[in-house]
């Protein structure tokens, strides 16, 4: 799973975390960077959704302050959003 994400988004740091406090909704993904909004997605399938995850990363990086206002390009991943924390 980690290898798939690293391949889909080769210029991003992909780390494994022991807990994102979403135990009832694996697999969880978090996106964060200094000065950018942070996002938490749950019940994702990185194997099947690698392209959607890569699309989100591109949108997130391009958006001012990391605030993604239109996530339709992310397919069904956008329905898995569990939280957004402003920068």
Listed by start position, the domains of the chain span: 2-85
Distance between CA atoms of 87 and 78, rounded to whole angstroms? 19
pLDDT at 23: 81
**Model pTM?**
0.88
**Arithmetic mean of pLDDT, 38-43:** 95
SS3 5: helix
Is pLDDT larger for residue 53 or for residue 19?
Answer: 53
39 to each of 73, 78, how far by Cα in Å? Answer: 16, 11
pLDDT higher than 90, residue 12: no
SS3 85: strand
Alpha-carbon Rg for the chain, nearest whole angstrom, is 12
Q: What is the overall mean pLDDT for the chain?
A: 92
- The pair of structure tokens assigned to 60 is 């997130």
Indicate the range of 12-26, 27-41, 46-60 predicted with least confidence.
12-26
């Amino acid at each position: 799973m980690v290898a798939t994400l690293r391949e889909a988004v080769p210029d991003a740091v992909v780390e494994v975390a022991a807990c994102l406090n979403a135990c009832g909704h694996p697999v969880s993904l978090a996106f964060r960077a200094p000065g950018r909004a942070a996002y938490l997605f749950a019940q994702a399938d990185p194997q099947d959704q690698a392209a959607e995850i890569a699309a989100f990363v591109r949108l997130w990086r391009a958006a001012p302050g990391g605030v993604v206002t239109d996530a339709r390009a992310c397919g069904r991943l956008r329905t898995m959003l569990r939280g957004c924390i402003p920068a």
